[in-house]
Amino acid sequence: MARWAGAVPSFTPVAVADATNMTDNGHHTIQGGSATQRGELREVYLGGQAGASSPTFMVVGRTSTVGGTLTPGRLAALDPSTAALGAPPVSYAASTTKPQRSSTLGILLNLSFNAFGGVVRWVNGPDEIISYLGNTSSLGELSLNCFTGGTPGLLGSNIIFETL
């Protein structure tokens, strides 16, 4: 169907352990718009903006507790003719109920890099799919967050995904 881009132009990720509340504005998460909505990741881009060496261990994975009462962030359809969805997915970094990284499904993609001048880009292969399903745990969210360790540094993130 349509491709969407969720972006957080500048934030400092906050490292958290598995099954622990994430910190507002310290992660970037995509949540499905309805109980049956399915979406697939197409691309994840991280651009380091830190002013000093910052080994930053970013991972993309599922959450065992999904965010509740979300504060929607930037989300835009890539194609200007994309029809508005009745229940659009949500790209967010702040919520009342905080998401928690799953201890078993929390690392689907490892995007570790140094946020001092580093750049990471991942693009999915045609049959190599990471998807979300619905909007409840454990499959309803895909979260870009920081694994414990290192020195997380300022970065910007852009996630391109496709709702099906």
Partner 1 sequence: MKNLNSHTGYLQIDHSNSPGIRAEDIPVRLRGITPIVGEGEVKEFDTKNCTHCESNIVLNPLRTRNREICPHCHHYICDRCYQILKATGQCIPFKKIVDKLFDSVVKGEPLIIIP
Q: Does 109 bind partner 1 (CB under 8 A)?
A: yes
User: For residue 155, which of 68, 5, 37, 54 has the smallest C-alpha distance?
Assistant: 54
Tell me which of 113, 143, 152, 158 binds partner 1, using CB under 8 A. Answer: 113
Q: Does 110 bind partner 1 (CB under 8 A)?
A: yes
Q: Does 55 bind partner 1 (CB under 8 A)?
A: yes
What CA–CA distance (Å, rounded) separates 21 from 100? 5
Tokens, residue 6? 């969720």
Q: Does 114 bind partner 1 (CB under 8 A)?
A: yes
Q: How many CB atoms lie within 10 A of CB 43?
A: 14
**Subset of residues 2 to 41 that bind partner 1, contact rule: CB under 8 A:** 35-36, 38
- The DSSP H or E segment spanning 118 is none
- The DSSP H or E segment spanning 65 is strand 63-65
Considering beta carbons, is residue 55 or 72 the nearer one to partner 1? Answer: 55
Residues at the site binding partner 1, with contacts judged by CB under 8 A: 35-36, 38, 48, 53, 55, 57, 62, 104-105, 107-114, 116-131, 133-134, 136-139, 147-150
